Amino acid sequence: WLQDTFDVPLVIQMTDDEKFLWKDLTIEETNKLAHENAKDIIACGFDKDKTFIFSDVEYISESTEFYKMMCKIQKLVTFNQVKGIFGFTDSDSIGKISFPAIQATPSFSSAFPQIFNGKKDVPCLIPCAIDQDPYFRMTRDVAPRLGLLKPALLHSTFFPALQGAHGKMSASDPNSSIFLTDSDEQIKTKINKYAFSGGKPTEEEHRKYGGNCDIDVSYQYLTFFMEDDDKLADIKSRYSSGKMLTGELKQELTNVLQKLVGEHRERRLNVTDDIVNEYMKSRKLKFEY
């Protein structure tokens, strides 16, 4: 939506180096995962002529300007600062300590001369999850000292875990999440079995007192995925009044997610390695700067 609305270049950073530094994986494995994740991203429908997806491991090795900018940031951020921001300790590897500068670097257009023709004053908007905010607060702090524009941030909220708003979706807990690779049957089972309900213990009580949409995970997910606002408002009214039961609400979510995930699954099947390479090739996009 942002790409269509603003008609601007989109640069997507795949932090395979971060995963290598934090996880018990080889760098070859994390690089392969980055390419697989790129397929998921491409299947969302991003315009190839306006999108550059890059792996840190691959792009840093070939881009002098990216590396220069990274070094400039590293020089201006102290170990004491990153300890305070990220909670690093003396036992953390120097790779972890230097990584924030790598994530900060794409905030500046000069890191991508092939796209922005060497311009240093192109504003940057970064859509990101709220847990990434510390990286970009650091970036905004260092930008004036580099003589560059501060990036602007657009924070997204976490999807709650299926078990309730006390947690977030996690790849390490398959029962907390709906995956883009889940089958229709898996989606249905997860929602019916694990999605936390805001309904009452018995049908009689639910009919009398209604459900609580504020804590009902199925309803919360519909606020993200159901595009028909009038239908969503009707569901909220019916569920809150007790006219709609928990099972019916879960079925509404099941229908929406099975369609959404199924369509994405079909598009992803058409994303070949060659297509991924086209998106990840360092190149000029269809913009003039």
Domain coordinates in residue numbering, the chain: 2-159, 161-267
What's the average model confidence in pLDDT over 229-250?
Answer: 98
pLDDT of residue 203: 96
Convert 203-219 to b/e letters by CB count within 10 Å (16 or more is b).
Answer: eeebeeebbebebbbbb
Q: What is the radius of gyration, based on Cα positions, of the chain?
A: 22
Q: Which of 286, 276, 269 is nearest to 31 (CA)?
A: 276
- Amino acid identity of residue 249, one-letter, is L
71's enclosing H/E stretch is helix 64-76
pLDDT at 167 over 80: no
pLDDT digits (tens, 9 = 90+) for 23-37: 999 999 999 999 999
Tokens 């029962």: give the residue.
175
CA distance 93 to 289: 39
**Domain 161-267 -> CATH class:** mainly alpha
Predicted local distance difference test score (pLDDT) of residue 289: 85
* Nearest by Cα to 2 from 70, 72, 69, 51: 51
Q: Is the pLDDT of residue 233 over 70?
A: yes
Q: What's the predicted TM-score (pTM) here?
A: 0.91
Question: Could you tell me the pLDDT band of residue 164, with boundaries at 50, 70 and 90?
Answer: confident
Residues 2-159: name the CATH superfamily.
HUPs (3.40.50.620)
Q: What is the pLDDT of residues 173-219, one digit of tens each?
A: 778 899 999 999 999 999 999 999 999 999 999 999 999 999 999 99
Residues 68-90: what's their mean pLDDT?
A: 97
Q: Is the pLDDT of residue 152 over 80?
A: yes
Q: What is the pLDDT of residues 90-121, one digit of tens each?
A: 999 999 999 999 999 999 999 999 999 999 99
pLDDT computed for residue 172 by the predictor: 64
In sequence order, which residues have a C-beta less than 8 Å from that of residue 121 and are 6 or more positions away?
109, 148, 149
Residue whose pair of structure tokens reads 């995962």 in the numeric block = 33
Matching fold, domains 2-159 and 161-267: no
High-pLDDT (> 90) share of the chain, %: 91
Rounded average pLDDT over 3-32: 97
pLDDT tier at 243, thresholds 50, 70, 90: very high
